[in-house]
């Protein structure tokens, strides 16, 4: 899988805690290999975010992504779970 980063995603990553950034780095490698690996806890989203998916970095941090093409994932945003879905 090809993983493409949106500008919003890259900006949000820089504001994450360092340990969360380090964990995210490892999870992105897993995402590229198998987007539905159980360690990611991938969920399909509904409502205004219908068509998007999220995966868990940690208990509190999530990444929103979409399938831009058959072999391409576009990372849309990353943030705390209380804010990310708004």
pLDDT at 31 over 90: yes
Q: What is the mean pLDDT of the chain?
A: 96
User: CATH code at 6?
Assistant: 3.30.2310.20
CA dist., res. 65 & res. 51, Å (int):
9
Query: Number of folded domains in the chain?
Result: 1
Domain extent, residue 51, equals 2-84
Q: What is the pLDDT of residue 5?
A: 97
pLDDT band per the 50, 70, 90 thresholds, residue 86: confident
pLDDT of residue 67: 95
- The dihedrals phi and psi of 71, each to the nearest 5 degrees, come to -115, 20
pLDDT in tens, 34-47: 999 999 999 999 99
53 vs 28: CA distance, rounded Å: 14
- 65, exposed or middle or buried, with CB in 10 Å at 0-12, 13-18, 19+? buried
The backbone region for 11, taken as left when phi is positive above 0, alpha when psi lies in -120 to 50, beta otherwise, is alpha
Alpha-carbon distance values, 74 to 8, 45, 67, 86 (Å): 11, 15, 6, 19
* 51 pLDDT above the threshold of 90: yes
């Amino acid at each position: 899988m090809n993983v493409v980063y949106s500008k919003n995603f890259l900006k949000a990553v820089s504001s994450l805690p360092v340990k969360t950034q380090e964990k995210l780095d490892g999870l992105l490698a897993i995402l590229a290999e198998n987007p539905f690996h159980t360690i990611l806890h991938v969920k399909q989203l509904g409502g205004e975010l219908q068509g998007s998916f999220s995966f868990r970095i940690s208990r509190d941090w999530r990444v929103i992504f979409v399938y831009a093409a058959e072999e391409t994932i576009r990372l849309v945003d990353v943030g705390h779970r209380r804010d990310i879905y708004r």
